[in-house]
Structure 1
């Protein structure tokens, strides 16, 4: 993942992305990969000073989540947006927010875990289901091997809108269906989206917060935390009672002033001070690496005195998980513990944050440990070097 080892193989020009038709552009690359796998190419070995036959295989693809849909052929929108849970995706359509959310993370807990028997803290039901099985490349191939997709605008109406839309061109590689993980979930984009939702909700940033009148009305209709329902007042806007994650104006100022006072060594990150707008009471202009640095190092410090203890601990555990996943070296013996921790943390986030918080990017954190167990540290599979 160093610059000197990277080479561009395809450059797709134009103002409109190819979307589902990206397979047309990938066809020459697939031909080269087939040659490298079956026959190989003759190269010079500088150490032995002779010619050798070099072979290579594609380990997987790295992309953001919309491009994941284009490369894999799975629709990452709607009810079954998780390509790993597939038909087992636990989805809820919020009537007022007009969006799908993906909760039900208690399914991944141990059968005797106490959170399974706490209906009032979640959706009012005891959770007895088990986590859906994780499909391998072979399982996916069985679902898509008979899909026939014709490329072109005139055939666009024939493409399914849910689930598997096509058989990816990568299945033309003979070894592709034998891989446990074919398309990687990018930790960088997952972390940035979770950070945006978390900080936007804490600061109540318009357009970024996951809390609001519509979110509260959806929670009332679902029977979740009815005490937070909007209170109607004659001639005034509905009043929203303070939730566990709600910050007062003074607490928001404390949070932002902490970020404003941060000084880091040169080359460590961008100037954090320049990202803070004390007049607008929000963070602005931050990039993916800024989210990475703030969430893993500074956010747990900044919230130490401004939130209820349980909420503060939950957010800190979420930050700690991303920090653990970003390590260069990860002990395989700790992966089961990390998986247990992130599931419990997501369950606790369900207790304290509104239902609209749980978009697909928050849900994908459940599957990061499995990919690490199969493919090694995320640091070798994220998009920072590429972008």
Structure 2
């Protein structure tokens, strides 16, 4: 009697096997990322040791790990797996620092593979891009740590002589937070200058310090796809950046960039935590800061969720007038793209709405491209109506 083949059962088994294989692949990728994260968190080891460890770990995350090899090129230095060779079965991802390409991460299969599917799956391409991104963040953070240590060395060499006089208004503001003289000295020990447009912190990068803005303006934003992001805050002098990572993640949840030349003080997490633990009045001020910041972000989210495009632009213009510039003039270093990202819309839409407001003589612009609010009451009515 001929054997009866239950095709539905066979197909179900194949589906289960496919799911199991898929889960196994994702599990390999996660283990690879966890191991790489652990290595990249080691800033005490020489970077050559770190990069060689990364090269050894990368093949583990790929399906055909036994024939997978990796190569990391950083400027003139190359870190290569044993028995690595160039083949057509390869994918690569750029290593980028401050919008400048400094190297490349490549993965190859050194032997042919028989498959009807893609040689490298979409998940494996994403894995390689993620590793390259993490390496970029590691280099960025390591360079910053080197700069901080150099500044510490200068301070030590000069003993009690200040590298640069701390802004007296900043000292008064820190005193208003009930910090002691010693704590203020620790908070203002290390100062770094950022040029306009420079990245101050990078979403996903490792952090071990808090930043305090002494001079200048910066923006905090969430990075999105296709060069679109959400600019959720303009940061003025005498404000902190990075407190959200103090007791939770060791990475930044957002990116920050200087809108103008900025003077920033770097405060080690351990120093900040010690001040909170030993100074109850300062801890209370930080709680107030959190409450105010949270309230401000919720208002912004409410604006985005409940208002039409015109109402959002009106709200942002008033936010910049009332909270940032404290003037009817909005300086041009807040670009139209910044305004668009603050309002969570495309730059084209923001420019069109600003043009309409200008035609209606609610705002005007000058030769420097500054925005001047002419009809404030009408702008507030538009914002209120949504």
TM-score bucket (shorter structure): under 0.3
Identify the structure with bigger relative contact order (alpha carbons < 8 Å, sequence gap 6+): 1
TM superposition score normalised by structure 2? 0.24
Please, what TM-score do these two structures have when normalized by structure 1?
0.24
Q: Greater share of strand residues, 1 or 2?
A: 2
State the structure with more CA Rg: 2
